[in-house]
Copies of this chain bind each other. A is one copy, B any other.
Amino acid sequence: MRKPAQPTINDVARIAGVSKKTVSRVINRSPLLNEDTRRRVEQVIAELGYTPNPQARALALRRNFLIGLIHDNPNAQMVLNVQHGLLEVLRDTEFELILHPVDRGSPTMLDDIRAFLEKQRPYGVMLLPPISENDSLAELCAGLGVRYVRMGSAPLDEAANMVASNDREAVRGAVEHLIAAGHRRIGLIAGPHGFRSAVERQAGYEEAIEAAGLPLQRTLIVHGDYRFESGMRAAERLLDLAPRPTAVFSSNDEMAAGVLHVAHQRGLTVPQDLSIVGFDDTPIASHIWPPLTTVRWPIATMARAAALKLVGGAGGARPGEDGEASLFVSTLIRRASVAPPPGAG
C-alpha cells in the first residue's frame, strides 16, 4: 500500500512560491492579504488537497479543538439526541466531539473526570444530567480553566454555563391535564433522591394538585430510579392502594412503560381503567400500546444551544439566536393514554 503522505503547509508554500506564513494567513483568513496571492495559494491548496493538521494547530495555538461530552447514561435516546445536536453545530467547525461516560456510583468519579480533563484539556465540556447537577464538578471544570455547559431541569448556573428546561411548569401542565380530564386521585412516580429533575418534577406535580384544591397524599407518591423495573415496582404499590389512583404521572417514560406493563398484568385497560402520563417523549412513548401522553423537551435544540455557548464564534461557529437562550420550554404531547376516570362518563 502506497503511503499517501499528507501535503503540509510547506508543500503549499513551496509550490505557490510564498512563505509558510502567507499560507497560514490564507488558512486563517487574515484580512491583510493581496487578493492575487490569496487566490494563488488557494488554488494550490485545492490542487494538493491540503488540509491543516489539527494536532499541529492545537500545539501551536496552545489549545485544542475538542469538546467533551461527560455523562452517566441518563437514557440512550437522550444521549444520542444530545450528540446529534452537538455535532450539528460542531460539524461546520474544526471542533471534534469526544465522549467520556462515567459512573456516578463510583467514588473516584471526580478524580476520573479530573484526569480526563487534565490529559485531554478539552476546549469545553458538556455535562448531562444527572451529574450536571453536581456543583463540585462544575467547580472542577472552572478551576481547570475548562469551559463547560450544564444541561438540567432548572437553571442552576449562570446562563453562559447552562441550558435548562422548565420541568416544573411542564409537569404542572401535564398533571393539570389529568385533573381537567376529571381525575382526583393521581399517583406520582417520582425520580430518585438526589436528582434535581426529580425534585422539579415532583414540585410541578404538587403545584398542580394544590392549585386544584386537591389533597396532597403521601401514599400517592412513590419513588423510582428512572428505570423500567422501578416503574413496575412503583406501579405495584400504587395499584395496591384502596381506592387506587385513576391516573399516574411518571417522571419519565421508561417508568411509565413499567406502569403500563403492570396494568396489563393486572388486566387493567389503559386508559379506560387507568390514565398514564410520562416524561421525555422517548421513542418508546409512541411505540407502546396505547401510545403514551408525555412531555417532550427539546433536547437537540438545547444541545445545539450548548454547543454554541461552548465554541461561541470560535473556529468558524457563529452564535445564532439559539446561542442566547438558556431556558427552553417543554410541551405536552397528547396521545391515547389519558381518558376520564372510570365512572366519570
Contacts and interface: CB of A to CB of B under 8 A. Distances in A.
Nearest to A86: B99
A252 B29 CA distance: 49
Contacts of A99: 83, 87, 97, 99
Contacts of A96: 66, 98, 120
A274 to B, nearest CB: 13
A160 to B, nearest CB: 14
A218 interface: no
A154 interface: no
A55 B64 contact: yes
Determine the interface band of chain A, counting residues with CB < 8 A from chain B: 35 or more
A243 interface: no
Given A59-B56, A79-B80, A1 B120 contact: no
Interface string A72-98: 010011011001100100000000111
Interface stretch (A17-25, A35-43, A137-145, A198-206): A137-145
A73 to B, nearest CB: 8
B254 A142 contact: no
Contacts of A305: none
A215 interface: no
A244 B6 CA distance: 61
The residue in A76, A77, A98, A290 that gathers the most chain B C-beta atoms within 10 A of its C-beta is: A76
A6 B121 contact: yes
Nearest to A84: B101
Interface string A173-188: 0000000000000000
9 contacts: A1-B142, A1-B145, A54-B119, A55-B55, A79-B80, A87-B99, A264-B289, A264-B290, A284-B287
Given A4-B143, A51-B119, A287-B288, 10 more contacts: A1-B145, A49-B118, A79-B80, A96-B98, A97-B99, A228-B286, A228-B287, A257-B288, A260-B289, A288-B289
Interface of A: 1, 3-4, 6, 49, 51, 53-56, 58-59, 64, 66, 73, 76-77, 79-80, 83-84, 87, 96-99, 101, 115, 118-121, 142-145, 228, 254, 257-258, 260-261, 264, 283-284, 286-290
